[in-house]
Amino acid sequence: MPTVDVMDVNGEKVGEIHLRDEIFSVEPRYHLFHSIIRMQLASKRRGTACTKTRSEVRGSTKKPWRQKGTGRARAGTRSSPVWRGGGVVFGPKPRSYTLHVTKKMKRAAMLSALSLKLREQRLVVLNDFNLPQIKTKQFLIHRQKLGLQNALIVIDGHNETLQKSARNVQGVKVLLAAGLNLFDLLQHDQVVLTRDAVAYVERVYGA
């Protein structure tokens, strides 16, 4: 059972916490990362691109000119794909890009990512991250004391002062533990968990 130091917002050690082996000491399964990230990115696609086929283009269906005797190529309709303003052949139609990934794969990928962050010593546990007021300058001071650069800060409950103080800081994202996902875990170099967030993760993924 790995033991991690618990820090305060000033970067000073205030205690220790024991993390569960089945969550933070899992052998990373790198091949799952690609499947889950691909699924997450695909689910963000709206799939609303749409083009009209020759049967959907508005206009007359009258033959533009007679078949023979004009010296021009044969033409049967103005909605032909070879004409400007005509229909589109094999163009995009509204569709769903959703990919199916099993719950076991999602869980295994999340545990692999959390274990990898701990193994690389890029996981920080804080007692809490409460700020006296909404002020970006104050957050930057604490970020420097904690040595955070490109960091994902995971909290258990809504924290307006922290969320608004950090929202304009480049490379930092504050996320609720309920919305923890693989893409954000891998996108940030460091992961910061509050004690409450650790308890939430262990409660959800420890079953």
Domain limits of the chain? 3-45+101-205, 47-96
Q: Tell me, what's the pLDDT at 207?
A: 63
Distance CA 107, CA 153 (A): 20
Q: Which CATH architecture fits 3-45+101-205? A: 3-Layer(aba) Sandwich (3.40)
What DSSP letter does each residue of 102-168 carry, written as one string?
Answer: -HHHHHHHHHHHHHHHHHTT-EEEES----SS--HHHHHHHHHHHT-SSEEEEESS--HHHHHHHTT
Residue 1 has a pLDDT of: 82
CA dist 133 and 162 (Å) reads 8
Q: What average pLDDT values come out for the chain (207 residues) when binned by 10 residues?
A: 90 92 92 95 95 94 94 94 95 95 95 95 93 94 93 93 94 94 95 95 86
Question: pTM of the entire structure?
Answer: 0.83
Which pLDDT belongs to residue 206? 81
